[in-house]
Structure 1
Amino acid sequence: MKDFAKYKVGYKRGDRIFTESDAGENMYIVHSGRVRIFRVIGGLQVDLALFEKGDFFGEMAMFEHRPRSACAEAVEETELLNIDPPTFADMIRANPEIAVRMMRKYSIRLREANRKIEELATLSHTLAGVEDIPAPRSLPTPPPPLSAAAPHATLVVEGSGRSYPILQAETQVGRMDHVTGLKPEVDLSAEDVSRHISRRHARITYREDRFYLSEEIGAMNGTFLNGEKISQQGVLYPLEDGDRITLCQLHMIFRVEPSATSTRA
């Protein structure tokens, strides 16, 4: 899908992309801008999701051949890729990784839907006067923190000079997902205003007394270690003090200092 210009469709702020119950079999990929998904209930607009660059929507109508289940509207000046079923099939055949990315996004959406259902159920029981309601369990368990003996590691962004500490044994690096409200341990949203870095782009792992870098499955636009592109997603690559990590076009230096505990030892 190298020649994607022919699929681009532009929308101005407030333009309606489709309305609930409209017929349609095409899906959309956000190339730039933002799109909100909402339903009209009792005369009120209820927001369901906010999609930005790299997100897709409208696929339910394409897969199920049913009318649109919600409305879509451009929040700002927006460009979308309008994908019909034959084009989508060609995309999957040419690049199976697209299917992996879609599955991961579905997983995130399902987890968020489960969380909202549990919150609504808890609220319903509370209003009914039921006591001892268990708290929602769908929020992900945070990764374990580094041990006191582990070295102090940071990512220093070239240009801005900002430092991002590595505090967990499994540290996810990427951008905040405004659809779900989830954000990685190292949130580079402030560094990547053009939103080229994937929300879950890379991971830094501390294992057996050393750090490793890996690219997350489904990440786009490349991960580089000392100028060499990481060719296999999910594979651990050893990290050393002073290594240069590049996510898309954002350059960072990996720094490691011995902990006070290990120094005294």
Structure 2
Amino acid sequence: MTLKRALIGLCLLALAACGGGGDRPPAEPGVLFAPNFRDADPVDFVNPKPTRFAVHGIDAARFQNTVNWNIARANGVNFAFIKATEGGDLLDPKFKDHWRGAGRAGVWRGAYHFYYFCTAADVQARWFIRNVPRVPGSLPPVLDMEWNPFSPTCATVRPPAAEVRRQMRVWLRLVEAHYGQRPIIYTTPKFYEDNGLHRFRGYEFWLRTTAKTPREAYPGQSWRFWQYSATGIIPGITGEVDLNAFNGSRADWNDWVIRRAR
């Protein structure tokens, strides 16, 4: 690594640790911790196993009501994607607390938006932008694309695949223009297949697959993050939480955040 890259990396680490708004930095900003947690319902993945990957993290929302972020970080939560918004008018009630807490603990943090098909894409993008601060050192924003069977108003709204991809591109372009970061796409196997998401070139994917490996569930698709469990048990977090792995080594992670955190 060149001296310039090293200095940039240190600056980003310090910014991520501080988190903006007077948050205090942790004692050891930028240190990566090995996972010290378990899965309440583990799956015997064939290859690769999640344990093959060096850098792990979580995603958090209102369901994670109590999180001691310092304890969680020390036990292997190196990054967190935090639910911010849904549709065009819903803000996750724990977003602000989780965002501040992760930042103060020095956890690399990014925000995600759960997409609704009964609200225009540009309205949803503006709602996300309104509620998610543009803080230096943040991970790229995430667009969460999955069918929503639980919404009383949107459960049955399932546009054709071409229209799904069009709406996604509207949201992705508006959010990228605001934050200066190309968003990550999160999805599930069924949604990915139904809507031909393999057509999105140049985007990084965060893939949910808790019964099969990404190679089995998304043949031929490259990925950056793998959500491999919904039943993680981590010191500092009350109840179960989603577990995620970064696709790469510790050195790959450091290079990636230098390139992608803004």
What TM-score results when the alignment is normalised by the length of structure 1?
A: 0.26
- Structure having the higher strand fraction is 1
- Structure having the higher helix fraction is 2
RCO higher in structure (CA 8 A, sep ≥6): 2
What TM-score results when the alignment is normalised by the length of structure 2?
A: 0.26
